[in-house]
A and B are shown apart, each in its own frame.
Chain A
Amino acid sequence: MKKSLVTLALAGLSILIVESASAQSSAAQNVTLTVNTVYKISTSGNPSSMTVTTGTAGTDALSSVSDNSTTYSITQNFGNTVKVAANLDAALAAGYTLQINMASTKGTSAGTMDISSATSGSAVDVVTGINRGADAGQMVTYTFSALASAGMLSSTNKTVTFTLTN
């Protein structure tokens, strides 16, 4: 009789354990991760005004002036063929030249490029082959020059647009 009671008790415990085990449950979620293409370019501000004030007697080309007080920064995750192109809102008149040189550690600087005639339809590549990642605080150097034969130029505001693209 006593043995039967022990057996019964064990059987009851087993049922409880089975019930406890069968109470476990699971759920699944699909998590979709997406990183979109990111292109970001910014500049540190505007350069100082550039004024040609002197030249050499007997020489048509006046003494050029430069400014390297600003920088640009980029971030992109697209690939290794990204470039920066630059253009003016409108071309400069003949006899005036605006050149730009943009340093780069993630890509290849094109060196000093003439953007005097570069407009939105004819932007000039200034940095090419930019690798994925970020390149911050790279120097932008402008050089402005003029010919005496072009005459004087009253204060003229130009907008330079930098486009980061593939």
Chain B
Amino acid sequence: MKTQKLYKAKKISKTLVAVLMMAAGLHAQSSSAQQSIILRVMELNKLGLIGGSLKLTIDKIHADQFAPTPAVNANTTLVWTSNGENKKITVASSNTNPKYALRAAPQEMSPGAGKAASVVSFSDNKNHDFIVGVNRSAGKCVIQFTAAADVKQGIGIDTHVITYTITSS
């Protein structure tokens, strides 16, 4: 009788150990590994032009006017992206002494992507502020060129290479 009890006790304890072992095996276990990553974003400023070279021809005049009708072209779009702060876009012409008046005005600005500066007249080859307040944004605007001439200036050709630059304010 005593032997039987001892046998039962041993059996129960063995079963208990087995159950505990199984439970340990079934319990959520895990292993982990780690990697270290270095992330960086450099300052970058990008400008692009949509629309190629353009030609403005002044060839209309009304009889009652002293000046020919200005030629207007708005087929160029300026696009930009900058992740920097306090940037501006300037514009300059390669023509140091143009015969005829040429103006450029930014229009249809992307909201929040900068602010149009004043209309630029290309009378020299200096940089002029074109768009200011560019802060961490991507934007675009249409550039409207206007060429004007006086009758007294006669006929001729002006050539401009227009350069846009994004720079710190």
Interfacial residues, chain A to chain B (CB-CB below 8 A): 34, 36-37, 39-43, 45-47, 49-60, 62, 70, 72, 78, 92, 96, 98, 140, 142, 144, 146-166
Contact = CB atoms under 8 A, between A and B. Distances in A.
A145 to B, nearest CB: 9
B138 interface: yes
Interface of B: 21, 24-25, 28-44, 46-48, 79-85, 136-140
Given A41-B33, A164-B32, A165-B30, A155 B40 contact: yes
Nearest to B79: A58
A58 B140 contact: yes
In terms of DSSP, what is the predominant structure of the interface of chain B? Answer: strand
Contact of A58 (B39, B44, B84, B138): B138
A55 B37 contact: no
A51 B42 contact: yes
Contacts of A56: 46, 48, 81
Most buried by A among B24, B42, B79, B81: B81
Contacts of B34: 43, 159-162
Contacts of A43: 33-35
B91 to A, nearest CB: 15
A49 B81 contact: no
B35 A151 contact: no
Contacts of B40: 49-52, 153-156
Question: Which 4 pairs of residues, A with B, have the shortest CB-CB distance?
Answer: A58-B79, A57-B48, A49-B38, A165-B30
A56 B47 CA distance: 8
A5 B37 CA distance: 99
A163 B30 contact: yes
